[in-house]
Structure 1
Amino acid sequence: MKKLLIVATVLFINTNVMFAQKGKPLFPQTPGMVSYTYRASFAKDAAATLDTLKSLGIKDMEFSNLFGKTAAELRALLDERGMRCSSFGVSYEEALNKTDQVGQNAKTLGAKFVRVAWVPHKGAFTLDMANQTVADFNKIGKKLKDEFGLTFCYHNHGYEFEKYEEGTLMDYIITKTDPKYVSFELDVLWAFFPGGDPAALLEKYPTRFKLMHMKDLRKGVEGNLSGGTPVTNDVALGTGQINIPAVLKAAKKSAIEHYYIEDESPSYGTQVPQTMAYLKGLKN
């Protein structure tokens, strides 16, 4: 009889644990923010914009613009508010030709990552372009790692999903770059827009992605390989076409360290709080 009671108790406890886990938050942390979301506001008053972000609970920033300030001045504004910059975005040209300055600014900001989000090109992205990109990224990443202790990341933008052999040129760039020196930032919208599956990409390369841009695409919008769409097609998470829970579940099993909200829409003032509420409400 005692054995039966013990077994029943264990089953009861395990069942309760199972149901409790189903109710756990899928995204328990507070997300970071890409400065580009608040670009117009930052250009007018960086301090006031940081105050707004802090009031929303945002403490982690990815800056891709210094907004007319020095890296030291921007770092001081962050420090005063108990905020941090974990990633610093620059242009391809700056990363390649001004690597020392980029590395110094990133270190001053307190960033661990340096990110590039666009490979300059005309027309369709080609294998030759991908090969040059691989060579440049390996060079940039090695210098940033060896001389500044920084991790270089490339942020996908859609045009790299041109078909190549059994995959895409994005697969080619990922597999041909040196993982010691080159990592990646997954932009969820720009993986979905060209016909890719952002969750599947994370599952395929679980150790290569270190950062993520969380954004959603307006329902009814058809994608392509251009790397561009009107900013009004950015919508609050959970209201668009992308299966955000599937992406976040895959991300939890990956090497991603920082999750940033990016909303390019002029409606970011209302959409960002909506996105944050959506993330907070997600359950396993």
Structure 2
Amino acid sequence: MPIQRRAFLKTSTLLTSGLALGLVNSNLLGCKPPTSKTPSMNENFGLQLYTLRDDLPKDPKGVLKQVASFGYKQIESYEGPQGMFWGMKNTEFKKFMDDLGMQIISSHCNFNENFEQKADEAAAIGMQYLIAPYLGPHKELDFYKKAAEQFNVCGNICKQRGIRFAYHNHDYSFKPVENQLPQDVMMQMTDKNTVDFEMDIYWVVTAGQDPISWFNKYPDRFRLCHIKDRMKNVPAGVGDASTTLGTGVINFTEILNEGRKKGLQYFIVEQEKYEGTTPLQAVKDDAVYMKNLKLA
């Protein structure tokens, strides 16, 4: 049975394994985020490989060759049934990416299991980020405070290796818990020098929030984003409504233009539903949309 990204990361909600809180000084200055000129998004956009979760495990190299042929230059991996590097060693995977003209920028991973080893492997091949993809909804704010502490530990582990740590949101962190938004709590309690955030624009919109207001509220904290469209004529709050880019309701031109002004650097396509199409065709169509997206 394939290991789905969210399923295996349910264990992360326990916050109990591997990394002992307090062993690393969370006040250390972290490695700074990339300071190079903001890349042209029309040329340097990425793909979250979870989009191809049904195809990739069957033929990783063959599917990745197709991804490259569609025009993607960057990828964000996840810990699927064959690990972050899809059955290859990290160095072998990097060479394969180089041969395809692509770069692995980041990966979602279980940050509570063998995290130092994952950070070593990521740093060795020039990756920029390891990312916590999911915590799950919880009724007590203290859970998210403890998560923020854990993120600081992970951030310092990454900092020591010259890479960065980030957290990827869903909608639950934008819903009040004890009269506060968990997203606010996690952003305020994490060290900006070592912990960044990956805004999943789809989930922010699904939660009824305005992505631009969050870019303005926390400038230079959202360094990556997931570009994922939301179906038209779907009731507010419904989660399972992903669709091909350009066919939904989200105004990515406005959102991404503002995000880039506030430090957004990596633009990663993701799609989770494929009505009337296939995952690979959707990925191809999404690439066409990204190449033609009008930006200021």
TM bin, normalised by shorter chain, reads: 0.7 to 0.9
| Local SS of the residue matching 1:40 | coil
CA distance in 2, matches of 1:125, 1:237: 33
Q: 1:76 to 1:281 in 2, by over 3 A?
A: closer
Please give the alpha-carbon distance, in whole angstroms, between the structure 1 residues aligned to 2:219 and 2:127. Answer: 22
1:87 partnered with 2:97: no
1:68 alignment partner in structure 2:
87
User: Structure 1: which 4+ aligned runs deviate by more than 6 Å?
Assistant: none
CA distance in 2, matches of 1:108, 1:161: 35
Contact 1:151 1:181 in 2 (8 A): yes
The aligned counterpart of 1:276 is 287
1:206-261, CA deviations, whole angstroms, 9 ceiling, x for partnerless residues?
2101111100111122344xxx833xx21122221222122111122021221111
Could you tell me how far 1:85 is from its partner in structure 2? 0.6
Matched AA of 2:89: T
Preserved CA contact (<8 Å) 1:75 1:108: no
Say what the alpha-carbon RMSD is for the aligned residues: 2.1
Q: Which residue of 2 aligns with 1:214?
A: 227
Does the Cα contact within 8 Å between 1:155 and 1:187 map onto a contact in 2? yes
Q: In structure 1, what is the Cα distance between the partners aligned to 2:206 and 2:63?
A: 30
**Which consecutive unaligned segments of at least 5 residues does structure 1 have?**
1-25
CA gap 1:238/1:269 in 2 versus in 1, 3 angstroms:
same
TM-score by length of 1: 0.80
Distance 1:265 1:54, change over 3 A: same
Q: Pick closer, same or farther for the CA change 1:125–1:31 going to 2, 3 Å.
A: farther
Question: What number of residue pairs does the alignment pair up?
Answer: 248
- Alignment partners' CA distance in 2, 1:125 and 1:63: 30
For residue 37 of structure 2, what is the aligned residue in structure 1?
A: none
Q: Which runs of 5+ in 2 are unaligned?
A: 1-39
30 and 206 in structure 1: CA distance in 2 versus 1, 3 angstrom threshold: same
Mapped partners of 1:176, 1:56: distance in 2: 40
Q: Aligned equivalents of 1:182 and 1:207: distance in 2?
A: 11
Q: CA deviation at 1:43?
A: 0.5
Q: Supply the distance in 1 between the matched residues of 2:192 and 2:172 (Cα, whole angstroms).
A: 22
Alpha-carbon distance change, 124 to 100 in structure 1, aligned in 2, over 3 angstroms? closer
The equivalent residue for 1:139 is 153
CA deviation after TM superposition for structure 1 residue 44, in Å:
1.1
Question: Aligned equivalents of 1:44 and 1:150: distance in 2?
Answer: 30
Select which of 36, 42, 47 maps to 1:33. 47
Aligned-pair CA distance for 1:73: 2.9
Structure with higher Rg: it is 1
Instruction: Give the drift of 1:270.
Output: 2.7
- The TM-score with structure 2 as length reference comes to 0.77
Question: What residue number does 1:242 align with?
Answer: 250
Matched, 1:117 2:136: no
Quote how far apart the aligned CAs of 1:165 are.
7.9
Deviations 1:189-209 (A, max 9, x none): 111111111122112212101
Maintained 8 Å contact 1:99/1:144: no
The SS at the match of 2:257 is helix
Aligned mates of 1:155, 1:238 — CA distance in 2: 23
Give 1:268 shift: 2.6
Whole-Å separation in 2 of the counterparts to 1:156 and 1:126: 17
Instruction: Give matches, 1:260-275, under 5 Å.
Output: 260-266=268-274, 267-275=278-286
Aligned match of 1:3? none
Q: Does 1:106 align with 2:125?
A: no
Would the aligned equivalents of 2:139 and 2:177 in 1 still touch at CA under 8 Å? no
CA distance in 2: counterparts of 1:241 and 1:171, whole angstroms: 26
Cα offset for 1:79?
A: 2.3
For residues 69-96 of structure 1, what are the alpha-carbon distances to aligned partners after superposition, in whole Å with 9 as ceiling and x for unaligned? 33233223212223211112102423xx
Aligned amino acid, residue 252 of structure 1: R
3-state DSSP class of the match of 1:152? strand
